[in-house]
Amino acid sequence: MDTDCIFCKIAAGDLPAKKVYEDDQIMAFFDIHPKASVHLLVIPKKHIATLNDLNTTDSALISKLVLALPEIAKEQKLEGFRVVVNNGPGSGQIVYHLHFHILGGKQIPTF
Ligand code: AMP
Ligand code: ZN
């Protein structure tokens, strides 16, 4: 755990979040500033700053997280959804704890 990291604090239960899924390794909760009618964040509980910081020992964790995305979306009754990962400087990443945005609900702009 990174003691300065807000998502580590959420994962540890030290900061509140509107959780929709949690197990021993991952967690999903609503984004506090939604950019779509449904906007969730899915995180590994382990502190990993960016995709660049993953290594092969994280394979099972990341596989589990990606496999959970459609399940979490289905729970929110999303037919389709967009997954966004901002990764590193210049990408818009603000929180340096790896997170997958799930965006869906009302028509979201295409790009
Ligand atoms: P990013 O720009 O990809 O780093 O996204 C960080 C996201 O975290 C933003 O969409 C924020 O609105 C969201 N966020 C920041 N703090 C919290 C929090 N305490 N609870 C839920 N979402 C948060
Ligand atoms: Zn963290």
Question: Does the active-site annotation cover 47?
Answer: no
* pLDDT confidence of residue 7: 98
Count of beta carbons in the 10 Å neighbourhood of residue 94: 7
Q: Which of 32, 38, 43, 84 to mutate to test the pocket of ligand 1 (most atoms within 8 A of CB)?
A: 32
* pLDDT confidence of residue 109: 77
Fill in the DSSP letter of residue 58. Answer: G
- Averaged pLDDT, groups of 10, the chain, 111 residues long: 92 97 98 96 98 98 98 96 97 98 88 76
CA of residue 40 to ligand 1 center, whole Å: 9
Count of beta carbons in the 10 Å neighbourhood of residue 83: 14
Does the model's pTM come out above 0.95?
Answer: yes
Beta bridge partners of 81: 104
All structural domains of the chain? 6-104 (3.30.428.10)
Q: Is 1 helix (H, G, I), strand (E, B) or coil?
A: coil
